[in-house]
Structure formats: C-alpha cells, structure tokens
Structure 1
Amino acid sequence: MKPYSPEELDVLLEALSHHHRRQIILRLEEADKDTIKFEFKPPKEQQQVDWHIRLYHHHVPKLESAGLIKWNKQNATLTVGDRFDRAVTLLEAIHEEYDEREF
C-alpha cells in the first residue's frame, strides 16, 4: 500500500476524530458487504431524536465529504467510498497499537 500523504492523513484523521464516525466505519467494515442500512441506535445517555439529528446533519455528511462513505438518503443506505479501505487500514493500525476495538 502506498504511504499516506500529509493531506490525506489530515482528511482521514479529521473524519475519524469522533467515536461515532469511527463506529459507523467499523459497522460498515464488519458487515462484510459494501452497503448497509442506515440504522444506528443511540447510546443510552442520548435521546433518539438528538442522536439522529447529529448523525444525519453532522457525522454522516463529514464521512461522505471525506470520501469514506457514499450516502443514499432516499434508500437510507451507506456504501463504502473511495477512501474507505484507507480509513479502515488506519483504524486497524490504531487498534493494533491500543489493542481496543471500541475506541
């Protein structure tokens, strides 16, 4: 695999800087398919409406603009984007270093 350029690393790290966005990427990666239904349950401490507003208006668009996912709002599906594999590789490297999947 080619090394990350400083610009690409900045984009990936910014997109993966929030644990909710990392969880979206991990759910898509663990699904063993390129597309998943956009169905995420809120953490217990958050209200469902607030959770979906944050995902819909902030987290998912940020992942999409970074090229990690493609978002079909009509079908409520998420598909791997052009940079998805690079993001997963980066997360796996972090995982190996910290030996923790829920980060």
Structure 2
Amino acid sequence: MIDNRTDLSGSLSADEAFELLSDGNRRELLLALLDRDLRVGTDPQLSVDTIVESGNRESELCLYHAHLPKLESVAVIDWQRERDEIRTGRRFDELRPLLELLRDHPDAVPGEFS
C-alpha cells in the first residue's frame, strides 16, 4: 500500500504501480499526461480543470483530496496547487510502459479499464 512513508529512493514496485493504476480516475489523469507529454512542442503541464468532470462534485473532491495527493506523494506527478496544474513527476517514466500498454491495447485488458 502506498502511503506517506513510501520510499522514494528506489523504483516503484509492481504492486505500487498497479495500485496507482487501479482507479479509473487516476488512469484517465495519467493517460492524459502521457498524451500531453508525448506531443512535440507542447508544454507537458495539464490544467486540472481539463480532467475534472463538469458538475461532478464528488469526482472533483476525490481528485483533489485523494488522487492528486496520492500520485504526488510518490513523485509520479508534480502538482502545482497554486496554479491548479500538473505535469509528469520524476517517477512518471516508471509507469510509462504500463500506460502505453493500456493506451495502445485497450481491448486486451478485461473489463472496463480505460
């Protein structure tokens, strides 16, 4: 389980990576960052407003109070709270192969995983 005591000196374990990807909202956010990060000539930052469901207060609260802090705590994202922007963190590349797999083969994963 990932918590505030997570060691940031090593790599993410498989369990930690799959835990981060276990929630659909986090996957959506990370896939949006992956897409943004790969565009040539585009600033890889992403406004949080672009990923918040319009009018869905519960989703917004979960994003701000659970998902963003969790991803930031393991350095997968860098969250600029004052500007309400996120960008890839120093450990984002550890998730990149799994994110690319999910993006490139959405039908290969059982259930609704996108």
Please confirm whether the aligned pair reaches a TM-score higher than 0.5, indicating the same fold. Answer: yes
Deviating beyond 3 angstroms after TM superposition, the runs of 4 or more aligned structure 1 residues are: 94-102
In the superposition, the TM-score normalised over structure 2's length comes to 0.69
Indicate the RMSD between aligned Cα atoms, in angstroms.
2.7
Does 2:100 align with 1:89?
no
Does 2:61 align with 1:62?
no
C-alpha distance in 2 between matches for 1:11 and 1:97: 21
Number of aligned positions between the proteins:
96
CA contact (8 A) 1:69 1:84 kept: yes
The unaligned stretches of length 5 or more in structure 2 are: 1-9
Deviation at 1:75, TM superposition (A): 0.5
Identity of aligned residues (%): 28
Deviation at 1:82, TM superposition (A): 1.4
Deviation at 1:98, TM superposition (A): 4.8
C-alpha distance in 1 between matches for 2:106 and 2:87: 27
The unaligned stretches of length 5 or more in structure 1 are: none
Does 2:24 align with 1:19?
yes
C-alpha distance in 1 between matches for 2:83 and 2:45: 11
